[in-house]
């Protein structure tokens, strides 16, 4: 990430113990930022933090956080401000899904997906806005999904709805916070081989029927290919971009 100079920036990443969240942490650290890693799995968080600190020479602060709890999110932002004096970038990456047919989905299923995927992003954005508004600068990046633009054969109604909500929340926050020079954008990843989607990618039938026919490029994704997008949106190269959702999907949404 030598193209992007984010040296000294303080970046919060939720869902940072594995998957794309871990990739985002590496991306920012490589660009010189100090990263705050938030997730529930403390042991994994510490491992990622130690790896990043030793590899890039930046500060990597692991904070055990349950993003479904308002108090945890408030504490996360407070601890970041105490440690680094500010919050420059927030990446709302935490996510989950429940796969069940609609008629079997319970209200608890719906509520937990909304809480983790959508409500947590609202709460974290609200809290960092309190830090960013007085200094009149900042970047919020919401991690949506190509599934936020329509359904597929996978029966996960809460996931689709929450990710679509993130696209609209991104626009609404961009309009509201723009006057403070706070930019709000989103990334819509396609299929990346994380623990959330590797099962589908390794299923020959699903890959050949659903994934490959809608992938315009002649290869499937590697996890590290998401890194440039998040650094770009956080950098001055994107200083006049807000309210936008950037698809990183190999052409999935082009179909």
Determine, yes or no, domain membership for 44.
yes
Determine, yes or no, domain membership for 92.
yes
* pLDDT exceeds 60 at position 2: no
Structurally, how many domains does the chain consist of? 1
Determine, yes or no, domain membership for 4.
no
The span from the CA of 70 to the CA of 76, in Å, is 10
pLDDT tens string 123-146: 999 999 999 999 999 999 999 999
Supply the pLDDT for residue 110: 98
Supply the pLDDT for residue 195: 87
Determine, yes or no, domain membership for 245.
yes
pLDDT tens string 188-235: 999 999 988 899 999 999 999 999 999 999 999 999 999 999 999 999
Q: Write the burial class of residue 198 (CB in 10 Å: 0-12 exposed, 13-18 middle, 19+ buried).
A: middle
Determine, yes or no, domain membership for 139.
yes
- The 10 Å CB-count burial string (b at 16+, else e) for 30-54 is bbbbbbbbbbeeeebbeebbeebbe
Determine, yes or no, domain membership for 72.
yes
> What is the residue range of 76's domain?
10-254
The span from the CA of 145 to the CA of 80, in Å, is 27
Residue 55 sits in a domain of what CATH number?
Answer: 3.40.50.720
Determine, yes or no, domain membership for 157.
yes
Active-site amino acid positions: 159
Alpha-carbon separation of residue 20 from 117, 135, 187, 205 (angstroms) = 14, 29, 11, 24
Determine, yes or no, domain membership for 2.
no
């Amino acid at each position: 990430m030598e193209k992007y100079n984010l040296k000294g920036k303080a970046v919060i990443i939720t869902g940072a113990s594995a998957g794309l969240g871990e990739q985002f942490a590496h991306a920012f650290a490589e660009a010189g930022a100090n990263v705050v890693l938030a997730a529930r799995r403390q042991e994994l968080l510490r491992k990622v933090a130690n790896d990043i600190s030793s590899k890039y020479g930046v500060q990597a602060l692991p904070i055990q956080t349950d993003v479904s709890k308002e108090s945890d999110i408030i504490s996360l932002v407070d601890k970041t401000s105490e440690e680094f004096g500010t919050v420059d970038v927030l990446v709302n990456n935490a996510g989950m899904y429940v796969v069940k047919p609609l008629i079997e989905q319970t209200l608890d299923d719906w509520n937990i997906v909304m809480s983790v995927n959508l409500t947590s992003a609202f709460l974290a954005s609200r809290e960092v806005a309190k830090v960013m508004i007085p200094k009149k600068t900042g970047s919020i990046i919401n991690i949506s999904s190509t599934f936020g633009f329509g359904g597929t054969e996978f029966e996960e109604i809460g996931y689709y709805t929450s990710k679509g909500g993130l696209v609209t929340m991104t626009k609404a926050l961009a309009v509201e916070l723009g006057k403070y020079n706070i930019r709000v954008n989103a990334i819509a990843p396609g299929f990346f081989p994380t623990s959330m989607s590797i099962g589908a990618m390794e299923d020959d039938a699903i890959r050949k029927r659903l994934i490959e026919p809608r992938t315009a490029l002649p290869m499937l994704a590697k996890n590290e290919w998401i890194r440039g997008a998040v650094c770009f949106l956080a950098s001055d190269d994107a200083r006049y971009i807000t309210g936008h959702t950037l698809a990183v999907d190999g052409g999935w949404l082009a179909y």
